[in-house]
Amino acid sequence: MTCPMFCYQCEQTSLGSGCTDFGVCGKEPEVSALQDLLIYQLEGMAFWGVKVLEKGQTIPSEVHRFVIDALFSTLTNVNFDPAFFFELLRKSAEIKAGLRTRAGEEAGEWPEAARYALPAAESEIQRDAFAVDIRGQAEENPDVQSLKDTWLYGLKGMAAYAHHAWVLGYREDAVNRYFYRGLSDLLDRQLTLADLTGKIMEFGQVNLRCMELLDRANTETFGHPEPTPACISRKRGPFIVVSGHDLYDLKMLLEQTAGTGVQVYTHGEMLPALAYPELKKYPHLVGNYGSAWQNQQREFSGLPGCILMTTNCLMEPRPSYSDRIFTTGVVGWSGIPHIPEREGTKDFSPLIQKALELGGWAEDEPELSIPIGFGRRAILERAGEIIEAVKAGKIRHFFLVGGCDGARAGRNYYTEFAAQTPPDTVVMTLACGKYRFNRLDLGTIAGLPRLLDLGQCNDAYSAIQVALALADAFQCSVNELPLTLVLSWYEQKAVGILLTLLSLGIQNIYLGPSLPAFISPNVLHFLVDQFRIHPISTPARDMAAALS
C-alpha cells in the first residue's frame, strides 16, 4: 500500500485519476478497503459457483440475491457503513465455504481469491481488506486491467437493475448465472485484450436482458408510464421525500401513509414514479421536490419533513437534517436509522411519526408542473405521426440527451446543448441528468412536447426500444437514423448502459463531461476507432457535427 485507498469507479474521482486519501463521495479508506475485500470474496465465491453450475447443480435463490445485493452495495453513493460490510463479509465466507464443499474439488491450481479464508476478528478482516489487491494486473498490463475494471463496473450496474427487478418478484436464471461467470472470469490472468473485448460485448447483451427484465417488472407491476404533468410546487402539511430509485419502497410507503395526513414527494431519480398509473392513483403522492442527487445536502438542509433514501445517490447527511433522514435496502450511513425488510415488507411508521412531528410546510406554493411519462409505449403509440413528421421534414433530428448528473464543472454543457437544439428537432432524456434542462420550455412538435422525459436511468431500455422501432420503421440501422446520443455519466449503471449500447453496434455517442479514469489510452483509442465515441467538446461544435 502506498496510499490509504484507491478508487476510480465514478466520474468525479479525485483529479480525474483516482481517490487515494478519501473518497470524493464521502467514502472513508476503511470502507473502501472493505468493499474491495467484498469484491475479492465475491470473485472467489463465483469461482466455486461456476464449478457447482458446471456439475448441473442449482444454486439457491438466496445466494443469487446475496451476490446481487452485495455487488450493488459497492456501487458509488450506496453504503458507507463499515458494520454493514463486516456483516456481508461474514455471510460471504459462509456461502463461499458451502459452494466450495458442493464443488467437491480436492486439489487444483485455484486463484488466491478462491482459497482465501476470512478471519474471525474484525481487526484482522480490516487488515486483510487494506492488503487485498483487486487490480492485480494494473502494472504488468494496464490495458487488460482497464477492460477488467470496466467489466466489473458494468457488473455492478447490472446488479442494481437485477436488485430492483428482484424485489418486485422478477428474476431470470440466465442473468443470475452470468454473475458467477463474469466475476470468476475476472480472476483469469490469461485473458487477452481480444478475449476481454468479446466478453464485454457478451456482457452488454446480458445487461440488455436484465434491463428488459426490470422494464417488465416495473410496467407489469405499476402499469406503463403515462404522459403526466408532474407538480414541482410545495403543498402545505407534513410530508416525506423519497429519493433513490426503488418504486416498490415508494408503493409500500404510499400504502402506509394513506389516511395519515402525510404527503409524499419524489426526489431525484424518483420523479418518473409520478407517471405510473398504480402510483399516481394515490392522491397524497403530490409531486416532486428538489432536483438531482448532488444537490441533496442543500435541498434537505432544515427540511420540515422526512427523507427516505431507497437506493444509491446518498451523500453524507448534514447535521441540519440528520435527525430526519432514514435509509432502507442496501443503503446506509453509520448512525442513520435504517428501515429493514422483514418477510417482504417494511415498517415505515418511524418516518410517518417523525413527519407528523415536524409538521411540514406552512403554506402552498403557486402550482407549477413539468411534463413527464413519455416511456416507450407513450412514444410508440404516436410512432405513425412521428414517422410522418420525419418524412414531411417537420422533424429533422432526434437527440437523446441524458444520463447521470453530478457536481463536476462542465455539466452545464448539457443545459446549453438542450437549449440550443433547433425547433425542428426532438430531445429525449432520461436519468437525473435531465434536471439540467427539464424546466426549459422547448415547445411542441408533431403534437408532442419537444422535450420527452423517458424516465429513470433504469428506463434506458425504453430509449433503446424507441430507437430500434424507428430503425425498423425506416428499414435502416440505428446508426443510419437521424439520431444522436449525447450522454453524461457518473457511476456504474451508466457503464453498464454504455456497454449495452456498444454491444448493439451503436456508434457516434458523445460522452462526457469527462472520460472514465479507468479507460486506459489504448482502450480509449480502440473505442474511438471501433465505435466512434466522441468526448464532448462544445455544444455548438457537437451540435453542428451531429446535424451534418
Question: For the chain, what is the domain count?
Answer: 3
pLDDT of residue 53: 97
Domain shared by 458 and 334, yes or no: no
130-176: pLDDT as tens digits: 999 999 999 999 999 999 999 999 999 999 999 999 999 999 999 99
Average pLDDT over the chain reads: 96
- Shortest CA distance to 355 belongs to which of 284, 277, 273, 269? 284
Domain shared by 351 and 421, yes or no: no
CATH number at residue 169: 1.20.1270.20
Q: Is residue 367 part of a domain?
A: no
Confidence of residue 107 (pLDDT cuts 50, 70, 90): low
Element (H, E) at 50: helix 29-54
As a whole number, mean pLDDT of residues 397-401 equals: 97
Q: Is residue 270 part of a domain?
A: yes
Q: What is the DSSP string of 307-330?
A: EEE-SS---PPPTTTTTSEEEETT
Domain shared by 387 and 354, yes or no: no
Domain shared by 210 and 243, yes or no: no
Helix, strand, coil shares of the chain as percentages rounded to 5?
Answer: 50, 15, 40
Domain shared by 380 and 311, yes or no: no
How many whole angstroms separate alpha carbon 54 and alpha carbon 329? Answer: 32
Domain shared by 57 and 201, yes or no: yes
CATH number at residue 331: 3.40.50.2030
Which of 220, 252, 272 corresponds to the end of one domain?
220
Domain shared by 506 and 389, yes or no: yes
Q: Count Cβ atoms within 10 A of the Cβ of residue 179 and give its class: 0-12 exposed, 13-18 middle, 19 or more buried.
A: buried
16-34: pLDDT as tens digits: 999 999 999 999 999 999 9
Residue span of the structural domain in which 261 resides: 228-358
As a whole number, mean pLDDT of residues 288-311 equals: 97
Q: Is residue 3 part of a domain?
A: no
As a whole number, mean pLDDT of residues 408-432 equals: 94
Element (H, E) at 511: strand 510-512
Q: Is residue 244 part of a domain?
A: yes
Place of cell 422533424: 395
454-512: pLDDT as tens digits: 999 989 999 999 999 999 999 999 999 999 999 999 999 999 999 999 999 999 999 99
Which of 192, 220, 248 corresponds to the end of one domain?
220
510: helix, strand or coil: strand
Length of the chain, in residues: 548
How many whole angstroms separate alpha carbon 137 and alpha carbon 463? Answer: 36
Domain shared by 37 and 103, yes or no: yes
Q: Is residue 83 part of a domain?
A: yes
Domain shared by 254 and 152, yes or no: no
Domain shared by 32 and 174, yes or no: yes
Domain shared by 30 and 164, yes or no: yes
Which of 358, 392, 424 corresponds to the end of one domain?
358
Q: Is residue 63 part of a domain?
A: yes
pLDDT of residue 447: 87
Q: Is residue 62 part of a domain?
A: yes
Domain shared by 271 and 154, yes or no: no
Q: Is residue 187 part of a domain?
A: yes
